């Protein structure tokens, strides 16, 4: 009887499931039948086991989609994760979970729940869970961005904030910013009438400012010693960002990491070799100067650059804040990457939105004419008066946050968010891309309307959970003062000195490509022409 039923099931399966595997002989037919029965059975048992386990353990996870055994939801992810997660939020609600390989992920999509994670339970969520590529490029996670909430992280962050990003130091470094922005204006002037890659000019400007602050030299003013050491850095950094943002099977199914199936570990090690060579060169050069007692590393005003401060702290026995050379290099790569790609991506997005909205371009330039004047160049001291430009930048941040999920957080103990359990070790994303486009937070959220930032007091400090482009809480971006200054300064200078138009032979569009830094899919090229009457203002 049983065998008769079994035979009928097999026959039915063979008849109705013939399409998935064309077979020509009896042996293959049997294999097909066995597989057709076993795979759905395993999937069924898996679901049953999972729901039994979560019921039994009293864990009430946020809702979310089912996945496959072992792989979880991994095969169903699409490349534009910010769009995919926002669509999933519409289906599953303001908080949802998904199993990716062996790791549970939770995505938070509303301002109220973002506040629970980043303010009310900020301490619990202050850890990171770095992907393997990020661990490799930061010398084993010895850096600031990917460190957990440890004493080392606190010390390094304090040092960065007090020595590099403090108001005093930023004021003292104003000369670097003026020098580099003026060089950029001059370079653009020599290329008027041709297509300019906006991201590239902004990237180079920011890189030069940051390296000047870090070790006193920029690519554009290097002495013979440093000549060309950072040539090609932009391409290396783009590769690093790409690798950090690409889902890596080794992260989700750790026992596969030794096989490096996507070759990503190998690839990031190549980038690390480049970075390491450059840092060795710079650090060895500095140590030589220090040992010859020529105090070149101390600026005329007595200020030391950051590399000098770090080297002096190096290996100070009995000092809990002491660093070794690996810590220094990990911190340098953090700062270079964190500062440059974000700033240049934003300059590009703002220029793209302005070029798409001629009315906005006119208002920005009218403001520049009024505040700066057509016979003057932009000075840093005038930037706070550019309120409309500031609103344009904030509106662009709202629609195109460079880090749409901030940087993932990881609770150090199980906790509750929105009534659901978030188990210890879960990877948590705050989906600010969804929050900043949520119609409950913004009227006509998809419209580009800078005016919404004029009527109300907005800042980047992460206190208003509708608008979090720099994050919030204890892991908020420490680079806000520099990032903000540079953005306004570069944009004001480009828009005051030049009129801009789009190339006629290229189709303009605004689509983005998800990544650790989410950029414009097709790089923006624009053509500058002279705006100021006096040519001497370009030199």
How many chain residues bind ligand HEM (CB under 6 A)? 26
Cβ at position 141, least distance to ligand HEM in Å:
12
Cβ at position 334, least distance to ligand HEM in Å:
5
Give the 3-state secondary structure of residue 115.
helix
Using CB under 6 A as the binding rule, whether residue 404 contacts ligand HEM is answered as no
If the CB atoms of residues 15 and 171 are measured against ligand HEM, the closer one turns out to be: 171
Residues 482-501 that bind ligand HEM (CB under 6 A): 482-483, 487
How far apart, in whole angstroms, are the C-alpha atoms of residue 149 and residue 356?
42
> Residue 334's CB: how many other CB atoms inside 10 A?
20
Give the 3-state secondary structure of residue 528.
strand
Give the binding range for ligand HEM (CB under 6 A) out of 35-43, 287-295, 341-349, 381-389.
341-349
Cβ at position 288, least distance to ligand HEM in Å:
27
Give the 3-state secondary structure of residue 428.
strand
For residues 144 and 126, is the Cβ–Cβ distance under 8 A? no
Q: 416 - beta bridge partners?
A: 421
Using CB under 6 A as the binding rule, whether residue 108 contacts ligand HEM is answered as no
477 annotated as ligand-binding: yes
What is the full DSSP assignment across 17-60?
Answer: SGGG----SHHHHHHHHHHHHHHHHHHHHHHHHHHHHHHHTT--
How far apart, in whole angstroms, are the C-alpha atoms of residue 326 and residue 283?
11
Q: Indicate which single residue of 74, 230, 313, 403 sits in contact with ligand HEM (rule: CB under 6 A).
A: 403
Give the binding range for ligand HEM (CB under 6 A) out of 49-57, 250-258, 465-473, 501-509.
465-473
Using CB under 6 A as the binding rule, whether residue 471 contacts ligand HEM is answered as yes
Give the binding range for ligand HEM (CB under 6 A) out of 77-85, 134-142, 192-200, 476-484.
476-484
Using CB under 6 A as the binding rule, whether residue 427 contacts ligand HEM is answered as no
Cβ at position 244, least distance to ligand HEM in Å:
13
Give the binding range for ligand HEM (CB under 6 A) out of 251-259, 411-419, 440-448, 471-479.
471-479
Residues in the chain: 539
Using CB under 6 A as the binding rule, whether residue 144 contacts ligand HEM is answered as yes
Angle value at C-alpha 186, between 500 and 385, nearest 5 degrees:
65
Q: Residue 185: what are its φ and ψ, rounded to 5°?
A: -60, -45
If the CB atoms of residues 74 and 338 are measured against ligand HEM, the closer one turns out to be: 338
Residues 68-97 that bind ligand HEM (CB under 6 A): none
Region of 51 please: left (phi>0), alpha (psi -120 to 50) or beta.
alpha
How far apart, in whole angstroms, are the C-alpha atoms of residue 236 and residue 73?
31
Cβ at position 324, least distance to ligand HEM in Å:
19
Give the 3-state secondary structure of residue 170.
helix
Q: Indicate which single residue of 346, 360, 361, 494 sits in contact with ligand HEM (rule: CB under 6 A).
A: 346
Using CB under 6 A as the binding rule, whether residue 335 contacts ligand HEM is answered as yes
Q: Indicate which single residue of 476, 491, 494, 537 sits in contact with ligand HEM (rule: CB under 6 A).
A: 476
If the CB atoms of residues 59 and 480 are measured against ligand HEM, the closer one turns out to be: 480
**Helix 198-215, helix 325-356: angle, nearest 10:** 150
Q: In 320-386, which ranges are continuous DSSP H helix?
A: 325-356, 358-371
Q: 307 - beta bridge partners?
A: none
Q: Indicate which single residue of 354, 377, 477, 492 sits in contact with ligand HEM (rule: CB under 6 A).
A: 477
Cβ at position 205, least distance to ligand HEM in Å:
12
Cβ at position 37, least distance to ligand HEM in Å:
47
Q: Indicate which single residue of 100, 145, 333, 490 sits in contact with ligand HEM (rule: CB under 6 A).
A: 145
Give the binding range for ligand HEM (CB under 6 A) out of 33-41, 224-232, 334-342, 448-456.
334-342
> To the nearest 5 percent, what fractions of the chain are helix, strand and coil?
55, 10, 35
For residues 399 and 50, is the Cβ–Cβ distance under 8 A? no
For residues 344 and 203, is the Cβ–Cβ distance under 8 A? yes
Angle value at C-alpha 132, between 127 and 138, nearest 5 degrees:
75
Reported as type and span, the H/E element at residue 529 is strand 525-530
Nearby residues of 32 by Cβ (< 8 Å), 6 or more positions away: 14, 17, 20, 21, 23
Using CB under 6 A as the binding rule, whether residue 226 contacts ligand HEM is answered as no
Cβ at position 160, least distance to ligand HEM in Å:
6
Cβ at position 107, least distance to ligand HEM in Å:
14
Using CB under 6 A as the binding rule, whether residue 478 contacts ligand HEM is answered as yes
- What counts of helices (H) and strands (E) characterise the chain? 18, 10
**Helix 26-56, helix 2-16: angle, nearest 10:** 100
Q: How far is CA 152 from the centre of its chain?
A: 22
Cβ at position 60, least distance to ligand HEM in Å:
26
Cβ at position 265, least distance to ligand HEM in Å:
23
Reported as type and span, the H/E element at residue 527 is strand 525-530
If the CB atoms of residues 346 and 377 are measured against ligand HEM, the closer one turns out to be: 346
Using CB under 6 A as the binding rule, whether residue 515 contacts ligand HEM is answered as no
If the CB atoms of residues 86 and 149 are measured against ligand HEM, the closer one turns out to be: 149
How far apart, in whole angstroms, are the C-alpha atoms of residue 415 and residue 484?
35
Using CB under 6 A as the binding rule, whether residue 130 contacts ligand HEM is answered as no
Using CB under 6 A as the binding rule, whether residue 241 contacts ligand HEM is answered as no
Cβ at position 523, least distance to ligand HEM in Å:
17
How far apart, in whole angstroms, are the C-alpha atoms of residue 4 and residue 12?
12
Q: 97 - beta bridge partners?
A: 106
Q: Indicate which single residue of 100, 275, 338, 495 sits in contact with ligand HEM (rule: CB under 6 A).
A: 338
Q: Indicate which single residue of 133, 250, 343, 493 sits in contact with ligand HEM (rule: CB under 6 A).
A: 343
Residues in the annotated binding site = 477
Question: Footprint of ligand HEM on this chain (CB under 6 A)?
Answer: 144-145, 157, 334-335, 338-339, 342-343, 346, 402-403, 406-407, 469-472, 475-479, 482-483, 487
Residues in the annotated binding site for heme = 477
């Amino acid at each position: 009887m049983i065998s008769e039923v079994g035979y009928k099931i097999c026959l039915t399966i063979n008849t109705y499931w013939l399409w998935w595997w064309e077979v020509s002989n009896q042996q293959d037919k049997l294999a097909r039948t066995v597989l057709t029965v076993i795979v759905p059975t395993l999937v069924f048992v898996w679901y049953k086991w999972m729901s039994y386990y979560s019921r039994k353990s009293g864990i009430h996870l946020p809702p979310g989609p089912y996945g496959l055994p072992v792989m979880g939801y991994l095969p169903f992810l699409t490349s534009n994760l910010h769009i995919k997660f926002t669509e999933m939020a519409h289906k599953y609600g303001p908080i949802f979970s998904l199993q990716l390989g062996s790791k549970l992920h939770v995505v938070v999509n509303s301002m109220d729940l973002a506040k629970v994670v980043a303010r009310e339970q900020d301490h619990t969520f202050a850890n990171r869970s770095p992907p393997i590529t990020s661990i490799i490029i930061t010398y084993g996670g010895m850096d600031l961005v990917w460190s957990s909430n440890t004493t080392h992280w606190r010390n390094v962050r304090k040092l960065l904030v007090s020595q590099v990003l403090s108001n005093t130091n930023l004021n003292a470094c104003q000369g670097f910013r003026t020098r580099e922005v003026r060089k950029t204006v001059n370079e653009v002037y020599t290329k008027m009438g041709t297509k300019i890659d906006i991201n590239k000019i902004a990237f180079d400007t920011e890189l030069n400012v940051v390296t000047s602050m870090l070790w006193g030299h920029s690519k554009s003013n290097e002495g013979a010693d440093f000549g060309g050491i950072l040539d090609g850095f932009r391409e290396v950094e783009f590769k690093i960002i790409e690798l950090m943002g690409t889902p890596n099977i080794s992260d989700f199914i750790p026992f596969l990491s030794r096989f490096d199936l996507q070759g990503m570990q190998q690839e990031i090690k190549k980038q690390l070799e480049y970075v390491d060579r450059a840092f060795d060169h710079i650090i060895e050069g500095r140590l030589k100067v220090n040992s010859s007692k020529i105090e070149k590393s101390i600026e005329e005003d007595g200020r030391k650059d950051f590399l000098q401060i770090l080297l002096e702290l190096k290996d100070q026995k009995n000092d809990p804040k002491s660093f070794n050379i690996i810590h220094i290099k990990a911190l340098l790569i953090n700062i270079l990457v964190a500062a440059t790609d974000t700033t240049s991506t934003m300059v590009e997005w703002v220029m793209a939105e302005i070029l798409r909205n001629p009315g906005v371009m006119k208002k920005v330039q009218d403001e520049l004419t009024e505040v700066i004047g057509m016979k003057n160049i932009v000075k840093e001291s005038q930037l706070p008066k550019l309120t409309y430009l500031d609103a344009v930048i904030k509106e662009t941040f709202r629609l195109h946050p460079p880090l749409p999920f901030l940087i993932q957080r990881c609770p150090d103990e199980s906790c509750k968010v929105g009534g659901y359990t978030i188990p210890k070790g879960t990877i948590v994303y705050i989906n600010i891309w969804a929050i900043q486009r949520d119609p409950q937070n913004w009227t006509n959220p998809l419209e580009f309307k800078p005016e919404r930032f004029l009527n109300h007091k907005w800042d980047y400090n992460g206190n208003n959970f509708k608008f979090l482009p720099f994050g919030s809480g204890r892991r908020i971006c420490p680079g806000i003062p520099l990032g903000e200054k540079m953005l306004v300064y570069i944009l004001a200078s480009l828009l005051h000195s030049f009129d801009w138009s789009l190339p006629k032979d290229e189709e303009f569009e605004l689509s983005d490509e998800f990544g650790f830094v989410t950029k414009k899919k097709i790089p923006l090229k624009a053509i500058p022409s002279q705006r100021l009457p006096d040519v001497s203002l370009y030199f």
